[in-house]
Amino acid sequence: MTDPELLRKHIEQYIQITDAEFEQFIVNFHHRKIKKKDFLLREGDICKYEAFVTKGCFRIYYSDEKGDAQIL
């Protein structure tokens, strides 16, 4: 299954979407590979996009006042 098919399958768990609507929606997405140990967003960055993970997973965390990682 391709990335757009995975995204459509996910969306259709919540709403019905026509082929034309999906085509109009998908033009706003860009495929991007994130390497292991790399960051999608760092502290202080402004988030300008949404992400949809098709393979693998992300760890979301922040550092508390003691410097310990707090995993969300």
- Angstrom distance (rounded) from CA 41 to CA 57: 14
Q: What is the pLDDT of residues 11-37, one digit of tens each?
A: 999 999 999 999 999 988 888 888 888
Q: What is the pLDDT of residues 44-72, one digit of tens each?
A: 899 888 888 888 888 888 888 888 888 87
Q: Is 20 left (phi over 0), alpha (psi -120 to 50) or beta?
A: alpha
- pTM greater than 0.85: no
- Angstrom distance (rounded) from CA 30 to CA 66: 37
